[in-house]
Structure 1
């Protein structure tokens, strides 16, 4: 991979992982409700699960949609259903003190598996492979996945820390409930491009 192409890929990866989407909104909510250290498995699930998904997409998963167009509809229905469920969980999250004992952030495996039903993750993976691993050769695909490992580390840490900082401002239970409902509404809003594409 040439230095110019690597710079372009790094910039693309940084912008796509830092912008709000289901992963980042859920990490911010997790940081707020559970704190940074309890959110680390969630962060690692995204930070390693998404690059793995990128690699799988680059090595052939994209062809499933070409061979079985119905699989795209099934994925879309599954994605919408799961995101609505996660929005409900965020909206009804317990206050931090109660969450310490009763609530649980997403685990490593849950957040890694979530990438496969995350509409933004699919869009990012397909775009990154199409633009930066045009030959679909193993080396190019691994470069794209490797850059996403680094950029995902920056993004997951930043959004979780933001949530943790908000936790201090949301000690009031009514404010925290309003925040959680707002995060749930934003998560649902991420479905708009999926349900009504331009």
Structure 2
């Protein structure tokens, strides 16, 4: 991969990562609920799912998934259901213990799994990667090193962006002085999860 191609791919990665989506909402909700240090485990889960999706595309399975109406629908509706579940959980999140010294601890493994499911249950991500990555591949060069470079680039950029989303939301807690304000923020994030679920429900195979 030439430097010019990599720079173009790097720019594409920033645009993709900065675009609001279910991963961004999940990162902000984790930052709000658990603070940055704990909430950032969610971003690790997002990246593990991203690496899995890149591996699927590199192995050629992504083309099969894109062509399978049943497989696409099963993953999509699982993702819709999971986002609605996260919205329900956020809507009913406790408000009396939201101050800095009383934040729930949150288990890293649970947050990693949550992030993984959010990304892995979006079949459009695989189709998107399948459509984008080959445009930056040089077929005259070995493909595996190129996929590794692109995977490292995507994960690095997304970790930086999700750190921003998580950190920004973790600071919101400092502004919450009453249960009413805390409830409003929780329900705003719940609405964003539901919106993300609604958007995913409208996705169709290309």
The TM-score, its normalising length taken from structure 1, stands at 0.85
* Root mean square deviation, CA, Å: 2.6
Once the two structures are superposed, residues 79-133 of structure 1 have per-residue CA deviations (whole angstroms, 9 ceiling, x without a partner) of 11111111111222223256526x6574223322432103564454334324334
Structure 2 CA distance for partners of 1:89 and 1:118, relative to 1, 3 Å: farther
1:17-96 → structure 2 map (5 Å cutoff)? 17-66=17-66, 68-95=68-95, 96=98
Determine if contact 1:27/1:43 at 8 Å carries over to the other structure.
Answer: yes
Q: Is the 8 A contact 2:29 2:169 kept in 1?
A: yes
Please give the secondary structure, in 2, of the residue aligned with 1:152.
helix
- In structure 2, the CA distance between the partners of 1:91 and 1:104, relative to structure 1 (3 Å rule), is farther
- Alignment partner, residue 115 of structure 1: 119
Q: Tell me the residue number matched to 1:4.
A: 4
Larger radius of gyration: 2
For 1:87 and 1:197, the matched residues in 2 are separated by 19
Alpha carbons 1:36, 1:160 under 8 Å: kept: yes
- Distance in 1, Cα, partners of 2:116 & 2:74: 19
* SS of residue matched to 1:100: coil
Give ranges in structure 1 of 5+ residues lacking alignment. Answer: none
